[in-house]
Structure 1
Amino acid sequence: AGLGRTALPAATGTAVAAAVFAVSGLYQLTPLKDRCLARCRSPIGLMLRYASYPRTSRDLRAGAHHGAFCLGCCWSLMVLLAAFGVMNLWAMVALTAVITAEKLAPAGHRIARVVGFASLALAVAVFWFPALAPGLTGGGMAGM
């Protein structure tokens, strides 16, 4: 396969892209995403929880705990980079904006829901417009 082309056959790439969009969209709508987002948005409770731990383990435990919640908050958005293209600058900028808005905007939970529904819509739309997932479909350049 040449540069810019995917190793997956077009139909397989499209099906994988739809699955990636669907899994990401569904996760964005789960209570687990809400819980992780709430913890990531307000880490002060976590810091207070670990304040009484001995210094040698406190920082490592607090960092690992907070990191796990942030991973739970953002993994579904990061997996979208597989569909959009890992080195797609515009996808990186857009997903960074979404993650920042989810974590900092007062309506962060609603933003997560909108992104979830948009991702589900992309899961359906990618069958008609494979170029929506250039990272998996070759950007519409691969044979259909």
Structure 2
Amino acid sequence: MPLSSRIRAMAAPHWLTLFGLILAGWVALYAMALPPGMVAAANLYGVEFWQSLCVVTPDLAGYWGVAAMWAVMVAAMMAPTFLPALATYDDLIHSGAATRAGFGLLLVGYLMIWLGFSAVAAGLQITLYRAGLVSPVGQSLTPWLSGALLIGAGAYQFSAIKEACLTQCREPLTFFMQHWRPGLRNPIELGLRLGALCLGCCWALMLLGFVGGVMNLAFMGLATLIMIFEKLPDLGRHLTKPLGWGLIAAGIAAIANALI
């Protein structure tokens, strides 16, 4: 589809709803990352709910609060990386092979996988916090943990699992042709499959949030861009392995600095 036609197609209600949800997710993340002084100022203006929204540390929020924070974070970060697959599905809508209802179900299936990841990541954050390895905002307190996460994520960039998952994520039309079946149940199944593939691509990069801080907006923005670029066929092939070497080098440097 030509670029001009694609832009016009993305003004449809289902696209505008998706963009609105992504924007709402990033606004919520910004609110949760507000410094205490700004939270107090918001309360002076009668916006009491900001305070509870901004309490996301394990000692105050508990497991479910941290899990909710992770759920918002992965939805805001991972939904944009799913746009190429959604655009391909939208082409199928215009050809008459798919429906707008299927578009929503595809996204629901995809996000269900990442909600599962959120539940696990929240448990991991609380475990690391109680062990004294990360701060209340989820930032590593030891270069050994930072180094291990960086080296592990870098090494994973060269793994066969990462390559297999990326190959399918970069070719959504081929994926849809392989797994297409009639009926409204199929879009959910397709979303679950694509969510699992995306998880296989990105879980190690997401855990790097413990290096820079889970609620670090700069990290989240950079990580989102990297994961989007990695899924682009032309650009991603030239990004994956250099990124892996860079992460390994950063991990070694972190550990080396601790030994000096």
Q: TM-score, normalised by structure 1?
A: 0.76
Q: For 1:14 and 1:49, locate their aligned partners in 2 and report how far apart those are by CA, in whole Å.
A: 44
Q: Find the structure with the greater CA-based Rg.
A: 2
Q: Which residue of 1 aligns with 2:216?
A: 88
Distance of 2:197 and 2:223 partners within structure 1: 18
Q: Give the secondary structure class of the aligned counterpart of 2:214.
A: coil
- Counterpart of 1:34, as a letter, is E
Structure 2 CA distance for aligned equivalents of residues 128 and 88 of structure 1:
24
What amino acid is aligned across from residue 31 of structure 1 in structure 2? A
How far residue 92 of structure 1 moved from its aligned partner, in angstroms, is 1.1
- 1:17 maps to a residue whose letter is S
Aligned equivalents of 1:129, 1:97: Cα separation in 2: 28
Aligned counterpart, 1:136: none
Output one character per residue of 1:53-105: Cα deviation in whole Å (capped at 9) or x when no partner: 34143122111111111111111111111111111111112111111111125
Q: Distance in 2 between matches of 1:50 and 1:128?
A: 47
Partner residue of 1:138?
none
Q: 1:93 to 1:129 in 2, by over 3 A?
A: farther
In structure 2, the gaps of 5 or more residues are: 1-35, 37-128, 135-140
Corresponding residue for residue 101 of structure 1: 229
What aligned pairs does 1:21-36 form with structure 2 within 5 A after superposition? Answer: 21-36=150-165
Residue range with higher mean Cα deviation, 30-39 or 99-108: 99-108
Structure 2 residue 149 is the aligned partner of structure 1 residue 20: yes
TM-fit CA distance, 1:127: 2.4
Kept in 2, the 8 Å contact 1:102–1:108? The answer is yes
What is the identity, as a one-letter code, of the residue corresponding to 1:35?
A
CA deviations over 1:32-64 (Å, ceiling 9, x no partner): 11111111111112211232x341431221111
Using the aligned pairs only, state the percent identity.
31
Give the TM-score of the pair, scaled to structure 2: 0.44
Which residue of 52, 55, 77 corresponds with 2:183? 55
Query: Is 1:34–1:109's contact at 8 Å kept on the other side of the alignment?
Result: no
SS in structure 1 opposite 2:185?
helix
Name the counterpart of 1:78.
206
Per the TM alignment, residue 8 of structure 1 is displaced from its structure 2 partner at its CA by 2.9
Any conservation in 2 of the 1:22–1:119 contact (CA below 8 Å)?
A: yes
Residue in structure 2 matching 1:40, options 140, 156, 169? 169
The one-letter code sitting in structure 2 at the alignment partner of 1:39 is Q
For the aligned residue pairs, the C-alpha RMSD in angstroms reads 2.4
Which consecutive residues of structure 1, in runs of 5 or more, have no partner in the other structure? 131-144
Superposed structure 1 runs of 4+ greater than 4 Å apart:
none
Displacement after TM superposition at 1:107 (Å): 2.9
Letter in structure 1 aligned against 2:214: V
Q: Return the offset for 1:128.
A: 4.5
Higher relative contact order (CA 8 A, sep 6+): 1
Please say if residues 168 and 197 of structure 2, whose CA atoms lie closer than 8 Å, have aligned partners that are also in contact. Answer: yes
Aligned-partner Cα distance in 2 for 1:91–1:38? 25
Alignment match, 1:110: 238
CA contact (8 A) 2:170 2:233 kept: no
2:207 and 2:133 mapped to 1: Cα distance? 17
